[in-house]
Amino acid sequence: MAAAPVELPALEGERARTAELVGDAPLVDQTGRERRVFTELVRDRVVVISFVYTRCQGSCPGTTAKLARVRDLLGERFGRDVTFVTFTLDPERATPADFAEYARAHGVTHGWTFLTGGKERLDKLRRDLGFYDLDPVLDADRTQHAAMLAIGNEPRGRWMHLPAALPADAIVRAIERVAR
């Protein structure tokens, strides 16, 4: 049964653009719970967004380990002032149970949501958020995904992308700049 649409209050400018790009159609988190991306996970928050394959043998485990280090460096701010949202690049195979195991393997407890759902929805979200290669052949190759992060301060309409390969302290400094 599809969830009833949530009517969002009128938003303007960059906030309206973010709400449109991120959307509010529900996806499923690592606990099996439906989550509305914009209203529950992005709106009124500073958020770090990533995309991974749970079965990736390349950059994804490194990206997630790096974000776990960033989480540690953020200390008490993590989960309170800054949250992480990770979407699957492999919705055909990534189940909530896969993400729950992936989260456990990386020591994730709170403040970090892993989402899976319909392929079309996730592919549109990935493209709308700029996580794609301009070359459609490379973009279609699952082994060629870039280890990127998007950091956003939704209330202020401030967003940036950066490589996940940066040192953890550089990512924390970027989060702090966007959060101002």
Q: How confident is the model over 127-147, as pLDDT tens digits? A: 999 998 888 898 887 766 778
116 CB contacts (<8 Å, ≥6 apart)?
27, 28, 87, 88, 91, 94, 95, 96, 98, 99, 122
| Confidence at residue 57, expressed as pLDDT on a 0 to 100 scale | 66
pTM for the structure as a whole: 0.90
14 or 67, greater pLDDT: 67
Q: What is the pLDDT of residues 66-97, one digit of tens each?
A: 999 999 999 999 999 999 999 998 898 899 99
Q: Is 63 exposed, middle or buried (0-12, 13-18, 19+ CB in 10 A)?
A: buried
Integer Cα distance of 60 and 137 in angstroms: 20
| Confidence at residue 1, expressed as pLDDT on a 0 to 100 scale | 46
Question: Positive or negative, the Cα torsion across 6, 10, 12, 15?
Answer: negative
Does 8 have pLDDT greater than 80? no
**In the chain, what are the domain boundaries?**
27-179
Q: Tell me, what amino acid is at 108?
A: V
Where b means 16+ CB within 10 Å and e means fewer, 124-160 reads ebbeebebbeeeeeebeeeeebbbbbbbbbbeeeebe
CATH number, domain 27-179: 3.40.30.10
